[in-house]
Structure formats: structure tokens, C-alpha cells
């Protein structure tokens, strides 16, 4: 099923007249699997591997021989395979969801219908009527854009209200709350907090159950008092969110859903 791990072409346009040091995609077959990779050479001393949403990237010194690099890939293959497979699974999850018109929302699934020419998206009886530009052909990329726009607009209101509500529990914070910012982060950075009292929460939290969103917000608001993960910090979190340990475990299982629409 995952016999070819082909990297995507990078979405960003390269500035003109700048010569790229990324070579064209190369392929190597290991244990019956063909893996595509980008090779990026630079003035560095070691070889590094990273599996990104657009594929496997290898950084290598300028003059390292290709067969040496390929030997390193073979040695690292188990690690590469696991990570590329996860990315394939996430892509498949996203494509299926868009094709089936089923998307995650507050921990459950809702369906959506594309409505060209409608100005604003409307959620009614668990069906999202998705606003879509009138004269634009309906495409996967267009749907992704429209969905992101909808999630962000809902998240702005939902999270602002939740933070306002939860702030009532924060007594004598060391860094008083000053501002809420909507972010696009995922994984371990679903939320963040600064010593200036700026709390950022990702709009992607809207894919999760409400209890988990409440935990994420509680976690960041606890940082207004304890800017660390000390024992005192977790004590504070448990005051705001007694089942935080369960929520932490649950969040670790949400890798696929959190990368929806990436
Ligand atoms: Zn934290």
C-alpha cells in the first residue's frame, strides 16, 4: 500500500534569480519500497534526515558521495518508514474526509455541503452549508480554503468566550491576561502563553472534544501564574481542570485529526 513515498512539490514559489541547492527528487528502493527524497546540500558536516508533510528531506555536506548518502538512508530506513507512513495516513484521512464531505467538529463529525455564491457559512442541524466563491470551480483546494476560513471564524468567537469564562478561575496571576491570539499551530503547540499575558490557542482545537479544548485553555491560563511545568503548575491546572491527566493522554491520540487541512 505504501510502496512509493513520493514527496510533494513545495507549494511556495521560489524567488526568481535565486539558485536553489535542492536537487530534483531522487528515488531509492529499500526492501521492496520505493522512497522519494529531496537532497539538499550545503556547507555542513553531517547528514540529517527529516520527514516533513511534503516528504523526506535529506541535508548533506556539499561533496558527500551519493552512495554514502544512500547507505545512510538504508540504515535509517525503519525510522523513515514509520514517519512517512504516518504522513500517508494523515493525507488519506484528510482526502477521505473531503471526498465524503465529513469533517471533525468539537469531537464529533458533521457533514458539509458546498454552496457556491453563499456569503457566509452556516451550521444548522449538524450540517455545514459552506460558503464558496460564486464563479470559482469547486476544487479540493478551494474547499480546504473555505473550511479553514470557517473554522477560524468560529474558533475566534468560541475561544474568546471560553477564555473569558475560564479567566474567572484565575486568581492573582503573575502575568495578567492581556490578549487572545488565534494561531494555526498543532501538535504540542496547540496553545502558548507569554510573560506579556498573551494567550495563543490554535483554531485546530475546534476539531477536538470540548473537554479537551477546556483543558488546553486551562493549561495556558495556568501559565499566567506559573510559566513552567513544575509541580505547582500542575496543581494549579488540576484546580481549573481536575481530569487534566486524562485529557493529556487523549491529546496524544489526536495526531491524525489535528493535521486535518494542513
Ligand atoms: Zn505548558
**C-alpha of residue 223 to centroid of ligand 1, in Å:** 7
Instruction: Quote the ligand 1 centre to 103 CA distance (angstroms).
Output: 28
Contacts of 138 by beta carbon, 8 Å cutoff, 6+ apart:
114, 116, 132
CA 127 / ligand 1 centre spacing (Å):
35
Contact 50, 37 (CB under 8 A): no
pLDDT at 217 over 90: yes
> Which of 58-67, 87-96, 181-190 ranks highest by mean pLDDT?
58-67
90-120 per-residue burial string, b: 16 or more CB within 10 A, e: under 16 = beeebeebbeeeebbbebeeeebebbeebee
Calpha distance 7→247 (Å, rounded): 34
Cα of 230 to ligand 1 centre, how many Å?
Answer: 10
Q: How far is the CA of 2 from the centre of ligand 1 (A)?
A: 36
What distance in angstroms lies between residue 3's CA and the mean position of ligand 1's atoms? 39
Say how many Å lie between the CA of residue 190 and the centre of ligand 1.
10
Residue 6 has pLDDT above 70, yes or no: no
Residue 193 CA, ligand 1 centroid: distance in Å: 8
Q: How far is CA 59 from CA 64, 73, 128, in A?
A: 10, 12, 43
For residue 254, the tally of other CB atoms under 10 A from its CB is 20
Please write down the HEC assignment for all residues of 40-65: EEECCCCCEEEEECCEEEEEEECCCC
- Decide if pLDDT at 15 tops 70: no
* Predicted confidence (pLDDT) per residue in 68-119, tens digit: 999 999 999 999 999 999 888 888 999 999 999 999 999 999 999 999 999 9
For the cut 70, the answer to whether the pLDDT of residue 187 exceeds it is no
pLDDT band at 160 (very low <50, low <70, confident <90, very high): very high
- Dist CA 165 CA 173 (whole Å): 16
Mean pLDDT of 52-79: 92
- Name the β-bridge partners of 193: 199
Distance of CA 111 to the CA centre of its chain: 21
Ligand 1: centre distance to CA 252 (Å)? 14
Residue 220 Cα to ligand 1 midpoint, Å, equals: 6
Give the confidence band of 259 by pLDDT, cuts at 50, 70, 90. confident
pTM: 0.79
Q: Predicted confidence band at 24 (pLDDT cuts at 50, 70, 90)?
A: confident
Q: How confident is the model at residue 169 (pLDDT cuts 50, 70, 90)?
A: confident
Quote the ligand 1 centre to 221 CA distance (angstroms): 9
Query: At 112, which helix (H) or strand (E)?
Result: strand 108-116
122-124: strand order across its sheet: 102-105, 108-116, 127-132, 122-124
Q: What is the pLDDT of residue 19?
A: 45
CB neighbours of 75 closer than 8 A, spacing ≥ 6?
A: none
Amino acid at each position: 500500500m505504501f510502496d512509493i513515498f513520493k514527496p510533494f512539490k513545495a507549494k511556495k514559489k521560489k524567488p526568481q534569480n535565486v539558485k536553489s541547492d535542492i536537487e530534483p527528487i531522487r528515488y531509492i528502493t529499500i526492501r521492496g519500497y520505493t522512497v522519494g527524497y529531496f537532497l539538499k546540500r550545503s556547507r555542513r558536516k553531517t547528514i540529517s534526515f527529516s520527514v516533513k508533510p511534503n516528504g523526506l528531506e535529506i541535508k548533506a555536506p556539499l561533496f558527500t558521495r551519493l552512495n554514502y548518502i544512500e547507505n545512510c538512508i538504508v540504515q535509517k530506513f525503519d525510522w523513515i518508514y514509520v514517519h512517512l507512513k504516518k504522513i500517508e495516513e494523515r493525507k488519506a484521512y484528510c482526502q477521505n474526509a473531503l471526498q465524503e464531505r465529513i469533517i471533525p467538529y468539537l469531537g464529533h463529525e458533521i457533514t458539509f455541503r458546498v454552496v457556491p455564491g453563499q456569503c457566509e457559512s452556516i451550521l444548522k442541524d449538524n450540517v455545514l452549508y459552506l460558503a464558496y466563491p460564486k464563479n470559482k470551480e469547486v476544487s479540493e483546494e478551494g474547499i480546504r480554503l473555505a473550511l479553514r476560513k470557517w473554522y477560524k471564524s468560529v474558533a475566534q468567537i468560541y475561544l474568546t468566550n471560553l477564555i473569558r469564562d475560564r479567566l474567572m478561575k484565575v486568581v492573582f496571576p503573575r502575568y495578567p491576561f492581556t490578549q487572545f491570539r488565534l494561531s494555526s499551530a498543532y501538535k504540542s503547540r496547540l496553545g502558548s502563553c507569554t510573560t506579556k499575558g498573551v494567550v495563543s490557542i490554535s483554531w485546530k482545537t475546534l476539531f477536538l472534544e470540548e473537554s479537551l479544548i477546556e483543558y488546553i485553555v486551562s493549561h495556558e491560563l495556568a501559565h499566567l501564574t506559573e510559566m513552567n511545568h513544575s509541580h505547582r503548575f500542575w496543581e494549579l491546572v488540576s484546580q481549573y481542570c481536575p481530569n487534566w491527566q486524562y485529557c493529556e493522554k487523549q491529546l496524544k491520540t489526536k495526531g491524525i485529526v489535528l493535521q486535518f487541512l494542513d
